[in-house]
Amino acid sequence: MEKIFKDLNKNQIEAVKAREGPVLIIAGPGSGKTATLTRKVAYMISSGIKPENILAVTFTNKAAQEMKERIEKFIGIKNRYAQPLIGTFHSICAKILRNEARVLGFTKNFTIYDKEDQLSLAKKVMEDLGFSSRNFNPYSILNKISKLKSELVYPEDRKEPRNYYEKVVSQIYSAYQKELQKANAVDFDDLIILTVKLFEENPQILEKYQNQFKYILVDEYQDVDTGQYTLTKLLAGQNKNLFVIGDTDQSIYQFRNADFRNMLNFEKDFPEAKIIRLEQNYRSTKAILAAGQGLIKNNVYRHEKELWTENTEGEKISISQLEDEKEEAQFVIEKMKELTKKGYKLNDLVILYRTHAQSRPLEEEFLTQGFPYKIIGALKFYERKEIKDIIAYLRILANPNDFVSLQRIYNVPTRGVGKAAFVRLTDFARKNNFNLFDTLLKAKDIENIQAKPKFALYAFGKTLEKISQKIKEYELTKLIKFIVNEIGYKDYLDVATEEGYMRWENIKELFTVARKYDKEVPIGKANRVPIQSEQSSATELRILDKIGRSSIPQSGIGTMTKFLEEVALIQETDPIRAKTSNGASKIEIDENKIQLMTLHSAKGLEFPVVFLVGMEEGLLPHSKSLDNPIELEEERRLCYVGITRAKRRVFITFARSRTIFGTTSGGLSSRFLEEIPKEVIEFNSDSRFFKDDKIINYT
């Protein structure tokens, strides 16, 4: 128990010991939020609370995994069935839905569609309804549907449309959900809204999970949307042992439907709530902290707090105005050269900007001068075409009704099957109530398909049948290798070319990923979701395993389903991937390269030195926020997050003129610069745009 409280301050200890009832922790940047949350879980278990009665919710899989590892170090967890459930809202809901799928009209092997899958389905639905993609942007339609789902609006709940566009969205939304149901599939947003629906319509099921999860902890509470907020309240409704931690000053994901007001309203929802503030900062210097505080206090909608630190005063915030974006890039590089001479490594340095478009002049200058760099936020591993192709093969094996996956691979590798033949195949399946897998084996019986694509589809079905037979005997890695060899995917990639070789390297990396499932997940056991009631005995768990195995015809499908679920639930930050200066896209870990990323990507990270570039009106704050006080406050929070990523130094730059998005305009310094206390600012002595320590905006 003693090691749990080691190195914690008074307020952190109070938070860790706060056991019963609702608790709100207001935790500023660098205040040891993760350590507090982790040790609280360890303390609860050490105090006699059953681990299986604890639910801890994080916003990334990476954070969940780190929390699990830290807890194990403190207390050790020997029984794999008796441990707290730690995960994201989406992963936890996926587990619940797999347990209760039949109540909502799904089977437990339902597919989780990612954004590309959703887009493919949306386009099909729009085509079926006669809506042209030229007139209605599928991306925009999906964003509207996502927002409706985050607000818990079901198709049947939609109010009378106010205009033609809303009418179109309503029609597409309704048809889109029907197609998902037919395909035994859900999208990312469904994981939340369907779980809420499950609980609201089935009180006995809700009570079961309330009895199991007697203690609920939620990290980054400022980022929950309406659906996540409602889900949390439902689960905590009986015991009210709800522990949330967050910071309204760091709420920057409104575009993902996050609503910081949910955190502001916590005391209204739970009048008896205990409020604890974590105000000691362990990350930054006094100067950096003062700069952030001076900025963020101008927001109205926030929790008041006064951050402080025992760290040194540190160097002042450097502010420089340059002639244009090229001079800005040159200035940044010169400063970085100076810093490396003082002992900083390149990966100690990060450049933050409001939008990815700002990276272009920086990249050009880095390439010219031979500086190694990486851009955070490039195409992630599981989003690459070759990986999605093989994943689609696995998904159609796990879920024979998965239309989107079959649509992706029916002609991959090329089989001479056109779109018309595929449409007729799927029409035949619907009319005869066949699943898509079986329909391929009946392709020779479909009259309105020409001979060549007909036999190609039949051969494709026989290939899938042959692969499916191997599920019973092959581990996941061996199964994937068998698929790749059986369909001739290596030849399809044309590894003699540079692009083809790089894609093949990614396939080999997929083999590496799959190996952990060979060893960690017993065949036939992974299908069982690790959620059990308080009374579950070892005997009952064995029975559950037996039931689970007997309900699945192929013994290996549980492992495959677990793999597919985890792939689908991987979030943007899990892990950080990057585009490097040589154009390659790969996993980046601790490489000695300068890092570039948007301010949104920087959330949750820290660096010794931060360069915040493009501090101009129209960029930060963004032009779309200038006439909206609520959005302007979010832009200020975004700037605050950027400044408080720094441990030792902050350099801020803005330009007299900037060419971006194809337009050159005169730059006005960001209003946020005027909100930083002057006593912690150091104007660059070489700048021609300062007078009497005041910023001059030239027009």
The residues assigned a catalytic role are 33-34, 219-220, 250, 645
Backbone angles phi, psi at 118, to 5 degrees: -60, -40
Q: In the numeric block, which tokens belong to residue 373? A: 């760099």
Q: What is the DSSP string of 422-478?
A: HHHHHHHHHHHT--HHHHHHTGGG-TTS-HHHHHHHHHHHHHHHHHHHHTTT--HHH
**DSSP β-ladder status, 607-612 and 373-376:** unpaired
Number of continuous H segments (helices) and E segments (strands) in the chain: 28, 21
Q: In the numeric block, which tokens belong to residue 585? A: 């896209």
With beta carbons less than 8 A apart as the criterion, state whether 223 and 251 touch.
yes
Q: In the numeric block, which tokens belong to residue 93? A: 């809901």
CA within 13 Å, CB half, 426? 19
Kindly provide the b/e burial profile for residues 557-588, where b requires at least 16 CB atoms within 10 angstroms of the residue's own CB. Answer: bbbbbbbbbbbbbbbebbebbbbbbeeebbeb
How many other CB atoms are there within 10 angstroms of residue 2's CB atom?
Answer: 5
Query: SS3 sequence, 6-65?
Result: CCCCHHHHHHHHCCCCCEEEEECCCCCHHHHHHHHHHHHHHCCCCHHHEEEEECCHHHHH
Distances (CA, A) of 360 to 346, 594, 667: 19, 15, 18
Contacts of residue 9, Cβ cutoff 8 Å, sequence gap at least 6: 32, 280
SS3 assignment, position 67: helix
Q: Where are the alpha helices (DSSP H) in 202-302?
A: 203-212, 226-236, 261-264, 266-269, 286-296
